[in-house]
Amino acid sequence: MTEESTTGSEGGEYLSRKVIVATENGLHARPAGKLAQEAQAFQADISLVCDDQEADAKSILDILTLAAGPGNVVELRASGVDAEAALERLEQLFANKLEG
Amino acid sequence: MADSIITGIPVATGIAIGKAFFVNRSHAANLPRQTVAARLVGDEIDRLHDAFKTVVQELAAIREQMPEELKSHGSLIDTHLMMLKDPKLSGAAEEYIKSLGLNAAWALEKAVADQEQAFGAISDPYIRERMQDVRVVADKVQTKLMGVEVDMTAISGRAIIMAHDLTPADTVELQADKIMAFATVRGGKTSHTGIMARSLAIPALVGVEKLEEKVKDGDLVVLDGLTGRIVVNPSEDELEEYNERAALFETYSRKIKRQCHLPAETFDGSRVEVLANIELVEEVAAVLDNGGEGVGLYRTEYAYLNRKELPTEDELADKYIDLASIMSPRKVVYRTLDLGSDKYIASFGELNEANPAMGLRAIRFCLKNPQLFKVQLRAILRASAYGNVSLMFPMISGVKEVRQAKAWLAQAKAELRREGVDYDPDMPVGTMIELPAAVMIAEYLAHEVDFFSIGTNDLIQYSLGVDRTNSHVSYLYQPLHPATLRSIKLVVDAAHQAGIEVSLCGEVASDPYCVPILLGMGIDSISMTPQAIPGIKRIIRQTNMHDCRKLLRDVLECRTVSRINNLVMDNIFKHFPEEVTFFSSLLENDELPT
């Protein structure tokens, strides 16, 4: 979807993309676990933003407490060496309904 | 005398006698709370991470060795693994050790409390419930930290497994051949523990609140899955009594199970259909195993709960078709959505009604939300092409409601016909009789539908004005109150007058004391939890319609509940002295508070 490079509020640069939650029940335990697992493979700091709430993409607990429902738009933010690759992979994951 | 007797909710029947063996306890209440000297903080942090790592390794190994039939629980273990690896839990605990100098187990408890707060604020009930998973993994880590671990492989013969809660991972580790029974503090009627116990054919109790307080490891306990009692350290006499009871029950249940496929026919040749109440399609195995002649009540709410979005028509139709075709040619009665009151759909939210039992529920909710209603009606109609399907509406209070509901059904049929989708145009349509109003106008309702199904659980509550879960008034919940009996009789007579069949699907149907009266009224079918079928069929096969009619006549002349209960109990004691000790009855409720 959209990609842009932004300066975050704390001065750090991050890359950002917007994705849609397409899983039937939103970011429930299984998709949240899958997402955290994939995110942990990258060095970059990755976060999810939904309704002004930010969650660490590497934390299943954080993702769960975001309580993102089906159809919600979520912004992925990443900064660090492999930020680009991380966003690429996670966007694909969202497109596959967090199944593969 | 026994040390103590505690009670819980029986989820699998039987009687077991053995040694208590605790496999997991909740540590929150008796956690060591100490501070750690500054120079030892580093060591304490290492201890924390080591404990996390060990639990991860053990769980991963269990995941690896999971037998095929339990693989469906694998994703729950994956979730637990991700939580264990989550820096939000272990990292937060580490922070508490560093900043406050707490011992590791306490620091973890504080990290759990933080999560509890975060999860508590979430409106989605499914996600909120995941907090229980956080609790489970934290308990496992705390067990390691406190060195109170139990080696499950050390379970020796005749163990009664006690736990705060049993997770699928726990049950994989347990050696089934040595386990006599389960008891847990947590859990309701539909919990994993019950499913496990029934598949192992051992008794189980859940919701035993005082379990951790009253039972110690190694205590000799009797677990009675018929009455829901746990007797801790029984006396010699009590033990002997229970040993005998267990042996008798064993013989009795083998006998009734052997005969459960015989028809429910009285000595003098009257047949009653004995059907099952189910909630999940998977339960058909239990229905057929126990000699159920069909499904008299399929509760369809499950597919709507614990999720954000409504189920689609295809999703529902898949399930409904499965059920209809597996049971075919046996009958399946689909009850349309009975939500509202205690259960509600996430996407509609809680209704905030002052009095939900009298609020927007069941058919009222469906008629207010016709789109949702029609999706379900279409799915049920589609299933009707695959088997012997009937449909019924819950909570009907008047003729107009039935006509409205039937109008939506007619519209759904017309749509399917236009689309060229198959359905059974003659699918029987019935209504439940649960409200006193429906009883009084049963004569009119009988002209609108093909059958009645009396839902006695609600009917008793509404006619006696008693919420049976309210302990202040639950003594007034009297299934054989003269008003209840007259209501049932009125409905049965109205149905038969109009030439339609009448079924009964409340707990009364599986109460051995009440069944002879129902037979006397001439009820056409009764529907109950699958496990109760063999026992009830046996009672029917050993009674005489003539005696039942006589009993009914006598009972209808009584003015008080206690007189009725006495008559009914005498009848059973006279005819079924052998079984009587294994019955648990709704009638035992009959005592005034002092």
In a domain, B594, yes or no: no
Q: CA end-to-end span of chain A, whole Å?
A: 19
- Other residues' Cβ atoms within 10 Å of the Cβ of residue B61: 10
Sign of the alpha-carbon dihedral angle for B277, B280, B281, B287: negative
3-state secondary structure of B398: coil
**Mutation target vs B (from A50, A64, A98; most B CBs, 10 A cutoff):** A64
Q: What are phi and psi of B178, to 5 degrees?
A: -100, 0
State mean pLDDT over B561-571: 90
pLDDT for B476 equals 87
Residue B445: both structure tokens together: 């309702």
In a domain, B535, yes or no: yes
Residue B21: both structure tokens together: 């063996």
In a domain, B8, yes or no: no
pLDDT for B273 equals 97
Identity of the residue in A33, A60, A70 whose CB atom sits nearest the CB atom of B308: A70
The nearest alpha carbon in chain A to B115 belongs to: A61
Domain C-terminal end among B87, B119, B146: B146
* pLDDT per residue as tens digits for the range B301-314: 888 876 778 899 99
State mean pLDDT over B342-346: 62
Number of A to B CB contacts under 8 A, please give it. Answer: 65
- Look at residue B594 and tell me whether its pLDDT is greater than 50: no
Mean pLDDT of chain B: 88
CATH code for the domain of B112: 1.10.274.10
Task: Kindly state whether residues B290 and B323 are assigned to the same domain.
Answer: yes
Residue A28, classified by CB atoms within 10 Å of its CB into exposed (0-12), middle (13-18) or buried (19+), is buried
Task: Kindly state whether residues B452 and B472 are assigned to the same domain.
Answer: yes
Contact B551, B569 (CB under 8 A): no
Task: Kindly state whether residues B269 and B341 are assigned to the same domain.
Answer: yes
Q: Report DSSP letters for A13-41, one per residue.
A: EEEEEEEE--STTSS-HHHHHHHHHHHTT
The minimum CA-CA distance between A89 and chain B, rounded to whole Å, is: 19
* pLDDT per residue as tens digits for the range A13-29: 899 999 999 888 888 88
pLDDT for B449 equals 98
Residue B502: both structure tokens together: 């009448």
A62 and B88: CB-CB below 8 Å?
yes
Task: Kindly state whether residues B211 and B281 are assigned to the same domain.
Answer: no
Mean pLDDT of chain A: 86
- Other residues' Cβ atoms within 10 Å of the Cβ of residue B352: 7
Task: Kindly state whether residues B74 and B120 are assigned to the same domain.
Answer: yes
- Look at residue A7 and tell me whether its pLDDT is greater than 70: no
pLDDT for A2 equals 47
In a domain, B1, yes or no: no
Q: What are phi and psi of A39, to 5 degrees?
A: -65, -35
* Percent of chain B predicted with pLDDT > 70: 90
Chain A residues touching B130 at Cβ < 8 A: 29, 64
CATH code for the domain of B295: 3.20.20.60
- Look at residue B3 and tell me whether its pLDDT is greater than 80: yes
* pLDDT per residue as tens digits for the range A32-81: 999 999 999 999 999 999 988 899 999 999 999 998 988 899 999 999 99
A59 and B87: CB-CB below 8 Å?
yes
Q: What are phi and psi of B163, to 5 degrees?
A: -155, 160
Q: How many angstroms separate the CA atoms of B202 and B256, rounded? A: 17
The count of domains in chain B is: 3
Residue B118: both structure tokens together: 């975060």
pLDDT for B423 equals 97
Phi-psi region of B135 (alpha: psi -120 to 50; beta: other; left: phi over 0): alpha
State mean pLDDT over B61-76: 73
Which residues does B455 contact at the CB level (< 8 Å), separation at least 6? B394, B432, B433, B434, B505, B506
Which position has the higher pLDDT, B26 or B263?
A: B263
Query: Strand B204-206 and strand B9-12: pairing?
Result: antiparallel
Confidence check on the interface: ipTM exceeds 0.90, yes or no = no
Specify the amino acid at residue B556: L
Q: pLDDT class for B342, splitting at 50, 70, 90?
A: low
Cα separations (Å) of B272 from B199, B219, B521, B536? Answer: 29, 46, 12, 11
- Look at residue B35 and tell me whether its pLDDT is greater than 60: yes
- Look at residue B349 and tell me whether its pLDDT is greater than 70: no
In a domain, B579, yes or no: yes
Q: How many angstroms separate the CA atoms of B577 and B564, rounded? A: 19
Task: Kindly state whether residues B165 and B263 are assigned to the same domain.
Answer: no
CATH code at A3-95: 3.30.1340.10
Domain C-terminal end among B254, B289, B304: B254
- Look at residue B139 and tell me whether its pLDDT is greater than 90: no
Domain boundaries, chain A: 3-95
In a domain, B442, yes or no: yes
A29 and B309: CB-CB below 8 Å?
no
Cα separations (Å) of B175 from B66, B100, B147? Answer: 13, 42, 22
In a domain, B540, yes or no: yes
A36 and B133: CB-CB below 8 Å?
no
Residue B405: both structure tokens together: 């509901």
- Edge-first strand order for the sheet with B220-224 is B4-7, B229-232, B220-224, B15-24, B159-163, B179-184, B204-206, B9-12
State mean pLDDT over B517-521: 97
pLDDT for B591 equals 44
User: Is B505 annotated as catalytic?
Assistant: yes
Q: What is the largest CA-CA distance in chain A?
A: 36
User: Is B27 annotated as catalytic?
Assistant: no
Q: How many angstroms separate the CA atoms of B179 and B166, rounded? A: 14
Domain of residue B227, residue span:
16-23+150-254
HSE, CB side, 13 Å, CA atoms: give it for residue A57: 28
Task: Kindly state whether residues B217 and B295 are assigned to the same domain.
Answer: no
Task: Kindly state whether residues B381 and B527 are assigned to the same domain.
Answer: yes
Specify the amino acid at residue B157: G
Nearest in space to B339 (alpha carbons), one of B324, B313, B357, B315: B357
Q: CA end-to-end span of chain B, whole Å?
A: 24
In a domain, B4, yes or no: no
Specify the amino acid at residue B26: S
* Active-site choice (B27, B80, B164, B192): B192
Q: How many angstroms separate the CA atoms of B206 and B10, rounded? A: 7
Nearest in space to B179 (alpha carbons), one of B9, B18, B8, B10: B18
pLDDT for B153 equals 62
Q: pLDDT class for B481, splitting at 50, 70, 90?
A: very high
* pLDDT per residue as tens digits for the range B369-407: 999 999 999 999 999 999 999 999 999 999 999 999 999
* pLDDT per residue as tens digits for the range B220-270: 999 998 888 999 999 999 999 999 988 888 888 888 889 999 999 999 999
pLDDT for A9 equals 46
Domain C-terminal end among B146, B168, B190: B146
Q: Report DSSP letters for B420-476, one per residue.
A: T----TT--EEEEE-SHHHHHTHHHHTTT-SEEEE-HHHHHHHHHT--TT-TTTGGG
If residue B504 lies in a helix (H) or strand (E), which one and from where to where?
strand B501-504
Kindly report the length of chain B.
594
pLDDT for B483 equals 96
CATH code for the domain of B207: 3.50.30.10
3-state secondary structure of B403: helix
